[in-house]
Amino acid sequence: MVERVWSADVQAIGDRIVTLTPAKAGELQRYLDVIYGLKPGMFPILDVRPVPPEPEPTVWADPVFDVVLESVDPVRRIVVIKALRDLLPLGLREARDLMEQAPSMIAKGLAREEAERFQQELRLAGAKVVVKARREEC
């Protein structure tokens, strides 16, 4: 802790004020009011506000990734449907509906490697795919 250094004149005034009797302190107060117009509390020297606690650092989990099917090459629709069925537990109709609703979320909360695998396979099949990273708090 750093110790405060006071100037000699401030120390002398402070030491003198501390030795005043209550009657002399009242007289000093009236003197400062009449001569200089200083009233108690006019100049708050100490700002006694509670110090807010430091916020706890946010702990983030490893990022997770969402895979979004943006669009499909019309010529490669059947190949994309097959790729969707291989990647996801979908029937033929569900895979086709998912493809036709593009842009649509294909998978949420995947690890990086898994999301990249989805993206690679769907791109090879003829789809435009975007992988979006997001962080979740622990």
pTM: 0.53
Residue 138, token pair as written in the block: 């622990």
What pLDDT does residue 60 have? Answer: 64
- Checking if the pLDDT of 88 tops 80, the result is yes
Residue 36: pLDDT band with limits 50, 70, 90 = confident
What pLDDT does residue 48 have? Answer: 56
**Contacts (Cβ under 8 Å, ≥6 apart) of 106:** 67, 68, 69, 84, 87, 88, 98, 118, 122, 129
How far is it, in rounded angstroms, from Cα 31 to Cα 39? 10
DSSP 8-state symbol, 29: H
CA distances 85 to 90, 98, 103, 126, Å, are 5, 10, 17, 14
- Checking if the pLDDT of 47 tops 90, the result is no
The residue among 85 and 3 whose pLDDT is bigger is 85
Domain 64-134 fold is: Ribosomal Protein L30; Chain: A, (3.30.1390)
What pLDDT does residue 129 have? Answer: 92
Residue of 54, 52, 86, 81 whose CA lies nearest to 69: 81
Sequence ranges of the domains in the chain: 8-44, 64-134
What pLDDT does residue 79 have? Answer: 93
Residue 137: pLDDT band with limits 50, 70, 90 = low
Beta-bridge partner residues of 110 = 65
Residue 20: pLDDT band with limits 50, 70, 90 = confident
Rounded to the nearest integer, the mean pLDDT of the chain is 83
